[in-house]
Amino acid sequence: MSGFRMRCAAAALAVAVGSSMAGAQSAPITLSVDLTDAPRKILHATEVMPVTAGPLTVVYPKWIPGEHGPTGPIENMTGFFITANGQPVQWERDKVDMFAYHVTVPQGVTQLEMKIDFLASSALTGFSAGGSTSENLALLSWNTLLVYPADTDASQVMFTPSIKLPDGWKFGTALDKDGGTGQTTTFKTVSLEQLIDSPVLAGRYFREVALAPEITPKHYLDMAADGPEEVELSKEHIAQFDKLVRETGALYKSRHYGSYHFLVTLSDEVAHFGLEHHQSSDDRVTANTFTDDREFVLDGLLLPHEFTHSWNGKYRRPAGLATSNYQKPMEGELLWVYEGLTEYLGDVLAARCGIWTPDQYKQRLSTIAATYDNRPGRTWRNVQDTATAAQILYDAGGGWDNWRLNVDYYDEGELIWLDVDTTIRKLTNGRKTLDDFVAKFHGLGGDTGPKVVPYTFDDVVAGLNGVVANDWATFLRSRVDSHAYQAPLGGLENGGYKLTYTDKPNSWSELVNLQRGSFDFWYSLGLHVDKPGMISDVLKGGISDKGGVGPGMQIIAVNGRAYTPDVLKAAVHNSKGSGPAVALIVENTGYYKIIKLDYHDGERYPQLERVASVPDRLDDILKPEAK
């Protein structure tokens, strides 16, 4: 795919949609979604599709944008009935493609009415297919409740959507209203692409805050929670989100949307994640995220990251991810740009707008650098393969993760793009930065409505060379293709810092341990353990691995004492030098054994150490840019 493709509501209604719809689409498909049973975890939809007589294949969306895989939750699509003029019409599932349904439209029939239910009863894991409702709120992802004609272009198939809410509920969405009565709202006709890209957040305890009101287009923080107190974030936090909007303007020097809505679900009853959309973001966090300052800091990356995707991922998109519909497989080879650059820019924006202090940013960066500098899986699987194989890695988890790897292109990608930024600054003596690349590459065309401008690896290289001449192709490929054990830490070095270890936990690690109940012995004993002593992962090749410790085991005792995190920490501390080895009693599937870890380096935690001989480029990166 190349060139500009307009993907907005102004697209022409004419489209060929299968043999039963030869010629132009006579009218938009109407989609009416009823959320009144959302608290009972079942959603209802009625879809009316214009058709002509003959064979028709309709499909349920399979490859969901932003989820980078065939994650369409078809297993929870149910109650699928089709009628024409009040009479049932039979459908047959394709024998190979489970997402396709074959129908024969009877003579004289001009529209089909389809009933679809969606079971919103999934576990609180995954992305949009995960838990999305509670007694008092719901997040509607339109792709869960519709089918569309096969072999069509999603930017050309038009829908007129509407929603019905439970009494007393309100909602937020990037869709424009076009009437309605009572608890039912109709929206303006949009393309299927824009519909699926525009979720709806609804709830009883709903609050909308206008952000940076002096800026056009308009930006809104839309919140739904399980209780009214959870949407009462402080004026300080609102001011930080105001500043986020201003900082993105200074960075990207463009906006590619009519308005933007942060859709924030504050609940412990839903899956927790972030999913980007062009004119909104689906941000699901714990109930206390906006009222507990420590939780606010730990989740501080989420909104800057998903907001950045409006430019990097939605407007500028890798060609392999810019598919014409939701049945075509996506190619994720450039996810280290799509997600890695977004991770980097999102972190920088979190610091520039004040969600994080510069010290919090650097402390977090030290943990990322140390994690990926102790990632032995890099010796067999490079970061490029984690991007290429993204669709099979998002659900990967459990023990030995450091040997298998998962979606490493996020944080290792961040290290690579920090390296790019500091290298530009070094080559130009600070006259140019990655900001210059971003303003040209992602601001291409200035302010526009939502559209997709695909890019390739060569486009990225050309964009960087437009800022400063360098062998950027070799620079990037040598990092994403590397099988070195060590992480790409050139960005730290060019930024005026180096990774080191001390016997004192950094403030970010302490905050994570306190809030998440995890305890980090990764850089000493080579294991992660929780408060009850369950070992979640073991460093391949580390002391614990060599001693016979494995994920899933539980530490019962340390040096003859009942296990607690503090007892294990004291044992590691006392082992330093000529101190005693660390002796563990562990339980594994009902069996017990003693494991002696001959370790004598004491506690080790990552830190960034300032290198005075190198300009402090990292601190320069974090300085606010908005006037």
Question: What DSSP line would sit under 594-617, residue for residue?
Answer: EEEE---S---EEEEEE-TTS--H
What's the average model confidence in pLDDT over 139-147? 98
Q: In this structure, are residues 574 and 566 in contact, taking their beta carbons and an 8 Å threshold? A: no
Q: pLDDT digits over 519-559, tens only?
A: 889 999 999 999 999 999 999 999 999 999 999 999 999 99
Cα three-residue angle 224-225-230, rounded to 5 degrees? 115
What confidence score (pLDDT) does residue 397 get? 83
What confidence category does residue 1 fall into, taking pLDDT thresholds of 50, 70 and 90?
very low
Q: pLDDT digits over 152-189, tens only?
A: 999 999 999 999 999 999 999 999 999 999 999 999 99
- Give the residue among 414, 381, 410, 369 at the shortest CA–CA distance from 483: 381
What's the average model confidence in pLDDT over 467-471? 98
Would you say residue 193 has pLDDT above 90?
yes
Report the half-sphere exposure of 524 (CA within 13 A, side-chain side). 28
User: Within 10 Å of residue 407's Cβ, how many Cβ atoms?
Assistant: 20
Q: Rounded to two decimals, what is the model's pTM? A: 0.94
What confidence score (pLDDT) does residue 167 get? 97
The answer for residues whose C-beta is within 8 angstroms of residue 592's C-beta and 6 or more apart is 556, 585, 586
Share of the chain above pLDDT 70, in %: 96
Phi first, then psi, for residue 269 (nearest 5°) are -105, 10
Mean pLDDT of the chain: 95
Q: pLDDT digits over 369-423, tens only?
A: 999 999 999 999 999 999 999 999 998 888 999 999 999 999 999 999 999 999 9
- Give the residue among 250, 343, 271 at the shortest CA–CA distance from 300: 343
Mutual angle of helices 434-441 and 457-465, in 10-degree steps = 120
The answer for residues whose C-beta is within 8 angstroms of residue 443's C-beta and 6 or more apart is 252, 253, 254, 311
Q: pLDDT digits over 8-53, tens only?
A: 333 333 333 444 543 457 799 999 999 999 999 999 999 999 999 9
Would you say residue 515 has pLDDT above 80?
yes
Q: How far is 376 from 408, CA to CA, in rounded Å?
A: 12
